[in-house]
Amino acid sequence: MKKRGVRGSFVVLISLLLLTIGFFIGKLTDGSLKELTQKMDKQQQYFALLKEVYIDEGWPPTPEVTVNDRLIDLKVGYVSWSNRGGAYTQDASDVLTMDLPAVIVPGGATIQIKPGKVNNHGAPIAGIKSLSLRYADGKKEKNIFQVPEQQGLYRYRIDVKWKLDQGNASFYFSLQVE
């Protein structure tokens, strides 16, 4: 039997070590390569959904309010908003105390609210988590989307929350029934 030197044993040992490492890497990537591909597909689907929902603007989109096909101007109240550019807040105290110009509408008219922002396909964005309408003074009403029949000034508040915790905002408008 021929004796190997220290150098020869070292080369054999390194070769066996590299083969073992190669074997385990092959085993690890063989099964997990498929899993990795599936995870990447799910991630791409998530980012596609995120792109539809996320609003990359510096200010929240203003909803569109109409009464009898007449567009109603809204005043922005409280805002808490974040996007890639940073985070922004605005207090609503000035809106609560100011005189909002009232739009004259007939009693019993229907208030319609739509998201003001549309995506690249012309469809309303899916980013709104919730939207509610109420009287600005907090008074409860069963059918808030119906203008009261009684003459008077009615102030409304719209609260909107966006998905992905991107932010929330309030918008105000006034209607006058004569």
pLDDT in tens, 67-93: 999 999 998 888 888 877 778 888 876
Work out the number of other CB atoms within 10 angstroms of the CB of residue 65.
22
Helices (H) and strands (E) in the chain, counts: 2, 9
Distances (CA, A) of 137 to 92, 152, 154, 155, 157: 13, 14, 9, 8, 9
Could you give the 3-state DSSP secondary structure of residue 74?
Answer: coil
Out of 31-45, 92-106, 150-164, pick the least confident. Answer: 31-45
Which position has the token pair 């899993």? Answer: 35
pTM for this entry: 0.65
What are the b/e assignments for 125-145, b being 16+ CB within 10 Å? bebbeeeebeebeeeeeeebe
